[in-house]
Amino acid sequence: AQSVTQLDSHVSVSEGTPVLLRCNYSSSYSPSLFWYVQHPNKGLQLLLKYTSAATLVKGINGFEAEFKKSETSFHLTKPSAHMSDAAEYFCVVSGGSGTYKYIFGTGTRLKVLA
């Protein structure tokens, strides 16, 4: 069975400071991992993905994530937060099922303070 745990339901940072959103996963298979962002009343946008290539993954809007198998983690980072980064972020695990089903984390709401 697969699962994903987002360790923080809310994170607040000041504009210009680093962002860290934490995600741990559990999977019996080699997982594919994703981060999606959802702005208020909007759909789900893919930020970045890990699919067993490089362990440090770069995404859109300056976001990065590092796959650490030993820690079963896939934390999302950004060096400098921008006001427009305020949104809900979902960590997702997939793999091992022929249907490529996604398992979503519960989400982390990022607040960026001026």
Partner 1 sequence: EPEVTQTPSHQVTQMGQEVILRCVPISNHLYFYWYRQILGQKVEFLVSFYNNEISEKSEIFDDQFSVERPDGSNFTLKIRSTKLEDSAMYFCASITGEMKNYGYTFGSGTRLTVV
- Going by their DSSP bridges, the two strands 102-104 and 10-14 should be labelled as unpaired
Helix (H) or strand (E) holding 26: strand 23-26
Q: How far is the CB of 12 from partner 1 (least distance, A)?
A: 18
Helices (H), 7-79: none
Smaller CB separation from partner 1, 36 or 81: 36
Smaller CB separation from partner 1, 15 or 22: 22
- Going by their DSSP bridges, the two strands 3-6 and 10-14 should be labelled as unpaired
Catalog residues that contact partner 1 under the rule CB under 8 A: 32, 34, 36, 42-46, 49, 51-52, 90, 97-107
Q: How far is the CB of 87 from partner 1 (least distance, A)?
A: 14
Q: How far is the CB of 57 from partner 1 (least distance, A)?
A: 11
The identity of residue 20, as a single letter, is L
